[in-house]
A and B are shown apart, each in its own frame.
Chain A
């Protein structure tokens, strides 16, 4: 077990080092996410009251769209120069490779969520009522999106048309995350009177199921 986590840390460090050097998150994914926030503003007629009401939903739709780019990038890193084969021959277990890659995506998503929080506060005028609930929701949802996203990105890679395949495979699976995280944010941002903590529970269950499932299923894909 200890070996699994230390291997996972190695893979995560490798992916984050690649990210730090290539700066795809900073140069492409983050600007894309902010652009989506601005486009929502245009689409909703720049009415700040409407934007504030729908900020939780818009925030999480933006996270999901940006996450598609992040997980696709995480999988494509392994395909350049056939790095995938090197990873497979390293002797690390498929579960540790999965956990490492998911952890790297999780860190990137957390950075993105902090940026987007600033985005909705500045652009939509949102006010944070419950920072603890908001932070825990952000963490639980990022775990769920990172694990499911990593699993599906690995699943779509190596198949034809993976760029178009990934969204239609992944987005319906993440429907409970979108609903749960939006409702928890509704509570945390004071946008609607709901019990955000119950939703946080659902997100935590989803994250746990996705992590276990991903760690188990990744082996079947590593065999390819």
Chain B
């Protein structure tokens, strides 16, 4: 049994972890084996078109994209609350959600790029608004995590990280607007999923993707939060120990001086 104070797991998180793992296996099975590829017939020419097997990646890509925004929004809310209330809970939550969000954001870019190669015939499309906004979002939070890794007073670092997170989130609408005007086009079909004839199994797999990635997010957040909390507890413990040691040293010195004085007087 893991010690409550030194482990990031608990019986609840272990149960969540196992369920998530089973869910992930199930999702991969549905996404890559049980669902049909997207093949449609052109009404006039009769030629096959569609996303073919690439569509399977969307069952992972779309839920991860949604959770990226959930994570960064959590980070922004926690950062704003930290600036007002200054509680360590909010700081650790902001850090944990930014880290989990950045991982999801990176995966969204990678899966999107792999999906784009066969469907859009390119790994990367400069003019696509959502693609560019997501990339800049990823870079903004990479900077945030770099700031988090600097050696500085924890409270100073937390305050500055909170400002960076808030600026990053406020910058997003401007980036989105600028990229939209920049090229005024997008390859991201709004109706990618609507276009597909969403059948029961397709819709079920997509919903399963949301549930499973929601569980992955919760599990990662739980553990990352606990790691952050333990790190803060360790830092406090080290400071308290160092202070106690210095006090003990001073008491010993005082005692020695007192003994010395008494010894000298006799």
**Are the CB atoms of B163 and A176 closer together than 8 Å?**
no
- Cα distance A6–B249 in the bound complex, in angstroms: 52
Q: Are A202 and B147 neighbours in the complex by a CB distance under 8 Å? A: no
Q: A151 — which chain B residues lie within 8 A by C-beta?
A: 163, 167
Q: Check: A38 CB closer than 8 A to any chain B CB.
A: no
- Determine if B151 and A173 form an interchain contact, defined as CB atoms under 8 angstroms apart: no
* A176:B146 contact, CB within 8 angstroms: no
For B162, the chain A residues whose CB sits under 8 A away are 220
Q: A165 an interface residue at 8 Å Cβ cutoff?
A: yes
Contact A199 B181 (CB under 8 A): yes
- B150 partner, pick from A159, A176, A202, A213, beta carbons under 8 A: A159
Q: 8 Å CB contacts to A: which residues of B171-199?
A: 171, 174-175, 177-179, 181-182
Is B100 an interface position by the 8 A CB rule? no
Given contacts A155-B160, A158-B156, A172-B140, contact A202 B177 (CB under 8 A): yes
Give chain B's interface secondary structure class.
helix
**Chain B residues proximal to chain A, CB less than 8 Å:** 83, 136, 139-140, 142-144, 146-147, 150-153, 156-157, 159-160, 162-164, 166-168, 170-171, 174-175, 177-179, 181-182
Chain A to chain B contacts (Cβ below 8 Å), 20 pairs: A151-B167, A155-B163, A156-B147, A160-B152, A165-B143, A168-B143, A168-B146, A172-B139, A172-B140, A172-B143, A173-B140, A179-B179, A180-B178, A202-B178, A202-B181, A209-B170, A217-B163, A220-B160, A221-B163, A224-B159
Smallest Cβ distance from B36 to chain A, in angstroms?
A: 40
The answer to whether A209 and B174 touch across the interface, beta carbons within 8 angstroms, is: yes
**Per-residue interface assignment for chain A, residues 140 to 161, with 1 indicating a CB less than 8 Å from any chain B CB and 0 otherwise:** 0000000000010001101111
| 4 nearest A-B pairs in the assembled complex, by CB-CB distance | A176-B178, A160-B151, A172-B139, A169-B143
Given contacts A159-B152, A175-B178, A183-B181, 6 further A-B contacts (CB under 8 A): A160-B150, A169-B144, A169-B147, A173-B140, A179-B179, A202-B178
Knowing A173-B168, A213-B170, A224-B159, say if A161 contacts B150 (CB, 8 Å): yes
Name B156's closest neighbour in chain A (CB-CB).
A224
Q: Which residues of A contact B160 (CB under 8 A)?
A: 155, 159, 220-221
Report if A223-B174 is in contact (Cβ < 8 Å); known contacts: A159-B150, A168-B142.
Answer: no
Contact assessment for B159 and A175 in the assembled complex, using a CB-CB cutoff below 8 Å: no
Asked whether, in the complex, the Cβ of B177 is within 8 Å of the Cβ of A176, the reply is yes
> In the complex the two chains form, is A213's CB within 8 Å of B139's CB?
no
How close is A218's CB to chain B, nearest CB, in angstroms?
A: 9
Interface string of A184-224 (1 = CB under 8 A from B): 00000000000000110010011001000100010011011
From B147, B156, B171, B181, contact of A165 by CB (8 A): B147
Given the complex of chains A and B, what is the CA–CA distance between A175 and B153 in angstroms? 30
Q: How far is the CA of A161 from the CA of B143 in the complex (A)?
A: 12
Q: Which interface residue of A158, A168, A172, A213 has the most chain B CB atoms within 10 A?
A: A172
Asked whether B171 lies within 8 Å of A176 as measured between CB atoms, the reply is yes
Partner of B174, one of A176, A198, A221: A176
Distance A178 CA – B161 CA, assembled complex (angstroms): 24
Q: By the criterion CB–CB under 8 Å, are A159 and B178 in contact?
A: no
Contacts of A223 in B (CB 8 A): 159
In the complex, what residue of chain B is closest to A214 when comparing beta carbons? B167
How many Å from the CB of B149 to the closest CB on chain A? 9
Which of B152, B163, B182 sits near A158, CB closer than 8 Å? B152
Do A183 and B167 touch (CB < 8 A)?
Answer: no
Bound-state Cα–Cα, A161 to B144, Å? 14
Tell me, rounded to whole Å, the shortest Cβ–Cβ distance linking A148 to chain B.
Answer: 8
Which residue of the partner chain B has the closest CB to A154? B160
Residue among A155, A159, A198, A199 with max Cβ neighbours from chain B (10 Å): A159
How far is the CB of A193 from the nearest CB of chain B, in Å?
A: 13
A202 vs B174: C-alpha distance when bound (angstroms): 8
Cα of A176 to Cα of B168 in the assembled complex, Å = 12
Most A C-beta atoms less than 10 A away, residue of B156, B168, B171, B175? B171
Give the distance in Å from the alpha carbon of A221 to the alpha carbon of B164 in the complex: 12
Query: Chain A residues with Cβ under 8 A from B157's Cβ?
Result: 159
CB neighbours of A156 from chain B (8 A): 147
Separation of A220 and B182 alpha carbons in the complex (Å): 35
